[in-house]
A and B are shown apart, each in its own frame.
Chain A
């Protein structure tokens, strides 16, 4: 083995760099080198033997030896003139023909034992140069040309016959052995190359099959997803039509019963009407959830005054909250100010939380409060709905935000509800770049908190908003564990809020890990497992960088990247593909700023973001305005 590896190192060293780029050329050059290294060695016994046997070896044996050892000259020549590899190869084949024909002419003529070597010339020519047209013509030309010259020389001065036939036996045997060994060596080497190549082809074939399977699976998933959305839309339509009749006629009958004062009927009809409305709410929730899943939920993000929203919700939700003789308290506090969100969807989420609180609380209190967190914590607002109701156990809390999961079956029977409200509210808040969290103790009550990002910490208008607020709560530069090398924009704003990083991946385990890791590092990670909502989320939270997985079911990270790059509001945000390094060229070409590999290494990611930032600041790219 060590001999082979040393040989490999030697041929490697002898191969000129410019012939290393193409793998096929490299293989041919390697055969050229091996043949030139060993050829003269294998042929050595012939001139040696002839010099001993022939009483007058001068000059024909010495010419033969010069021709044979001349092959070694090709090694430095190739190193010096790699550009002329083809010419050197042809010259080498001609030299071989000359040596063979010279030896045969001087020792035995057409019955010379050296003539067997001649069949090697086309073999070597094709090994060195491949099967091109030029090469085929050259090979045929040198066979016919060589033999023609050979015959012409015989006609001119017949064969010299330096040795009698009996004296030719030993050199003849040596010659045939040498030719056999040499052919063996080259053929073995060639077979080896062919084997490894066919293994490579098989591997490529396997990969092609796998890729095809993956593409088929992706297409199937997309088709299934499309079919699902279509089915839900159709089903929702079909359910609404009979509901129209149920709700309409029960209202008519209810009016009649009220006019006639039929008490029991009124109560019954109210139940029909309530059940119909419940069913309608469920259909609407299902439709909303399927819209979010299909990426068809359209948000109307606008600037909302949270204090106004709260007082508005207070008046509309009071009857709802006061059900079950509960007190409804709205906490007065410092002004919360503005956020960027969809007012209708935020209101929907809040109503859901208040309705839940009222449902699970008897003779208690429901508290609605809102506050703005310090800029240092990333610029969030929190709206909390707390109750003094039955509470939720830790096990139940875990399943709380999944679709169609109520805390337990008994609760569903007692309190009703679709089990969709919380999942939907959570999804809506995620779309707005926020989330809903829960704290609860069994028997003492629950507290649901909606967290939404504020426009104040968006890099684009950092300065303005902070000045408006008087900058009182924002800490100075450096106190909040700044994460990246100082950013001129942040110096200008005299505050250093946590930077938001958006992670888009279908693997929730990975997302949660990334969230923990980067929160510890002082960032504000925002995670989503719904690639279709990535753009919406990015628009809302304006992250400092986006990290995109490539393979997501029914969705492709490249598509998301293209969409991000095409959106003028988002194109300035650095995007990193979560992938292997081999994807880097494609990623850069598609407009990404880099590639990070799983598992994420916080320090590498930090360095990557810092590099982007400094290069952008350095180039003075007008990516963001300083307030």
Chain B
């Protein structure tokens, strides 16, 4: 089963995205902020991480940089999720080491397509 780690500080966003993905057959784990996300990535070794950018003290860019800097977790694909839709955010996310970028509100078919792409295979 594909394990998805959702790093998101907003409980409603966490809940709705987690439940939608569960229904599509994913196993879901949550982290509520950057440091927790980094620890969870190391402990759980998920197949993919969905990283909110507007996290509290440590933002998603920084969390991504640290996950990508750690040899144990560097290979885990990260998709940045942000409610902002400026070209510059996409560039910043990719510069921080994210493998892809998507905007909120989440368009599930679009996000599933991106997850498939970063996993490098079609989801069953």
Which A residues are closer than 8 A to B by beta carbons?
A: 233, 236-238, 240-241, 243-249, 251-252, 255, 276, 280, 284, 287, 291, 296, 298
- Which of B19, B86, B108 lies at the interface centre, i.e. has the most chain A CB atoms within 10 A of its CB? B86
Asked if B83 and A241 make an inter-chain contact with CB atoms under 8 angstroms apart, the answer reads yes
Residue contact B20 to A296, C-beta cutoff 8 Å = no
Chain A to chain B contacts (Cβ below 8 Å), 29 pairs? A233-B84, A236-B83, A236-B85, A237-B54, A237-B84, A240-B84, A240-B105, A241-B10, A241-B83, A241-B104, A243-B104, A244-B13, A244-B17, A244-B104, A244-B105, A245-B12, A245-B13, A245-B16, A248-B13, A248-B17, A251-B20, A252-B19, A252-B20, A252-B23, A255-B23, A284-B85, A291-B86, A296-B87, A298-B87
Any A CB within 8 A of the CB of B96: no
In the bound complex, residues from chain A placing their C-beta under 8 Å from that of B16 are 244-245, 248-249, 252
Cα distance A287–B87 in the bound complex, in angstroms: 12
> Which single residue of chain B is at the shortest CB-CB distance from A241?
B83
B81 to chain A, nearest CB (A): 9
Chain B residue contacts of A255, Cβ below 8 A: 23
CA distance A245 to B12 in the complex (A): 7
Confirm or deny: B45 has a beta carbon within 8 angstroms of a beta carbon on chain A: no
Taking a contact as CB atoms under 8 Å apart, the answer to whether A287 and B105 are in contact is no
Docked complex Cα distance between A40 and B62 (Å): 91
Which residues of chain A are within 8 angstroms of B83 by Cβ–Cβ distance?
A: 236-238, 240-241, 244
Contacting pair A240 B104 (CB below 8 A): yes
Number of A-B contacts (CB under 8 A): 57
Q: What 14 additional pairs, Cβ within 8 angstroms, besides A251-B20, A252-B23?
A: A233-B84, A238-B83, A240-B85, A240-B104, A240-B105, A243-B104, A244-B106, A247-B105, A248-B13, A248-B17, A248-B106, A249-B16, A255-B23, A296-B86
Do A287 and B12 form a contact, CB below 8 Å, given A240-B103, A248-B20? no
Closest to B23 in A: A255
> With a CB–CB cut-off of 8 A, which chain A residues contact B85?
236, 240, 284, 287
Residues of B within 8 Å of A252, CB to CB, are 16, 19-20, 23
Q: How far is the CB of A622 from chain B (nearest CB, A)?
A: 34
Bound-complex Cα distance A381 to B54 (A)? 44
List, in ascending order, chain B residues with CB within 8 A of A248's CB: 13, 16-17, 20, 105-106
B109 CB to closest chain A CB, in angstroms? 11
Which of B12, B13, B85, B105 has the most A CB atoms < 10 Å from its CB?
A: B105
Contact with A along B65-105 (1 / 0, CB 8 A): 00000000000000000011111000000000000000111
A233/B106 in contact, CB under 8 A:
no
Determine the distance from Cα of A245 to Cα of B106 in the docked complex, in whole angstroms.
9
Nearest A residue to B81 via CB reads A244
Q: In whole angstroms, how far apart are the Cα atoms of A244 and B12 in the complex?
A: 9
With both beta carbons as reference points, the residue of chain B lying nearest to A245 in the complex is identified as B12
A240 to B82, CA, bound (A): 9
Q: What distance in Å separates the Cβ of A500 from its nearest Cβ neighbour in chain B?
A: 28
CA A83 – CA B11 in complex, angstroms? 88
Q: In whole angstroms, what is the CA distance A246 to B16 when docked?
A: 9
* Distance to closest chain B CB from A39 (angstroms): 77
In the complex the two chains form, is A233's CB within 8 Å of B20's CB? Answer: no
How far, in whole Å, are A252 and B17 apart by their CA atoms in the complex? Answer: 10
Please give the distance in Å from B1's CB to the nearest CB on chain A.
20
Q: Which of B16, B17, B23, B84 has the most CB of A within 10 A?
A: B16
In angstroms, Cα B23 to Cα A249, docked, is: 13
Which of A236, A248, A298 has most B Cβ within 10 Å? A248
**Which residue in B13, B17, B19, B87 is a CB contact (below 8 Å) of A241?**
B13
